Amino acid sequence: MTFADLNLNAPLLKALDELGFYTPTTIQAKAFSVIMSGKDVCGIAQTGTGKTYAYLLPTLRQIEFSKDRFPQMLILVPTRELVVQVVEAAKKLSAYRSLEVVGVYGGVNMKPQADAMLNGLDILVATPGRLYDLILSGSLKTKGIKKLVIDEVDEMLNLGFRTQLKNIMDLLPERRQNLMFSATITEEVEQLMDVYFNNPVRIEAAPTGTPLENIDQSAYEVPNFYTKVNLLQLLLEEHEEMSKVLVFAASKRLADQLYDEMVIKYPEQLGVIHSNKEQNHRFNT
C-alpha cells in the first residue's frame, strides 16, 4: 500500500511526496479509514511508529478553511517540545492548504499566544495547562472544535494532567470526534475513555515492548559511569552512521556529567536537555 491508495487529496499527496513519504506505516494504514468515518478512536502505538501522521493525515483531509477562524481541531500533547514538533508536522502537511496552525505552551508570556487566538486559526496544538488558562481568560473560543486529539495520553496522565484534561473536555462541544493515542492503556486511560469517548474503536500497532522494524538493538554490560563514557566514545568513533545520536541519562545530574566528559572530545557537537535548562536553550539544542 502507498499513500496514493488512501483517500487523500492532491495537496496532501503533494506535501507527502515533497517530504519523501510514500508508504504508510502500520498505524497510519489501520487508522486512516476509521478516523475518516468519524468514529472515536483509541490508537495504541509507541513512539517511532508514525502515530502523529496517523491522526494528522485523515483529519487534515477533512478540515476545510473556515471564515469563522475558530479552531476546528484541538491537539493536546504533554510537553512544549512535542507542541513544536506537531505544529511543524501539521504545517508541512498543510503546505498547500489555507490552514492556520498555532501551538501554545506554558513557561512563556501568554499574551502573544492570546493574540494569536484572536487573529484566528484552524488547528491548535497545546499543552493542557496553558490551554486551560487561555480558555478561562476568554482568549480562546472552543465552540468550533469538531475534533479532539489527545497524543501520548499515558504520559500526560503520568505528569499529573488528569484534572486539567477532564476540565478541558467538559468545556468542549459535545458533538465532536475524539482521537486518543497512547503507548499503553492503563486503568486511568480506560476511565477517561469510559466517560468522554463514544464507543471508541481500538487500533493497535506496536504497543510498548514491541521491537520496531527499523531499529537494531544491542546491550552492553558495563560496570561504572566512566566505562560507559569510554564505550560511548568508542561506538561513536567506530560507527560512521552515528552522526546523529540521542543519549538518555538516568538523572539531570548524570546528563550534565556526561556532557562535561564528552564535550572535551566533541566541542560544539553536543547539547544537553533537561527540565533545569531554560526553554531557549532546550529549543536551540
pLDDT of residue 67 exceeding 80, the answer is no
Domains of the chain, earliest start first: 3-204 (3.40.50.300), 225-284 (no CATH)
Q: Which three cell numbers stand for residue 196?
A: 468522554
What integer pLDDT is reported at residue 207 of this predicted model? 55
- Write out pLDDT tens, residues 133-177: 999 999 999 999 999 999 998 888 888 888 999 999 999 999 999
Residue 5 has pLDDT above 80, yes or no: yes
Q: Is 0.85 topped by the overall pTM?
A: no
Q: What are the pLDDT digits (tens) for 254-269? A: 999 999 999 888 888 8
Cα–Cα distance, 108 to 42 (Å, whole number): 32
Q: What is the DSSP string of 25-71?
A: -HHHHHHHHHHHTT--EEEE--TTS-HHHHHHHHHHHH----TT---
CB-based contacts of 62, cutoff 8 Å, min separation 6:
36, 147
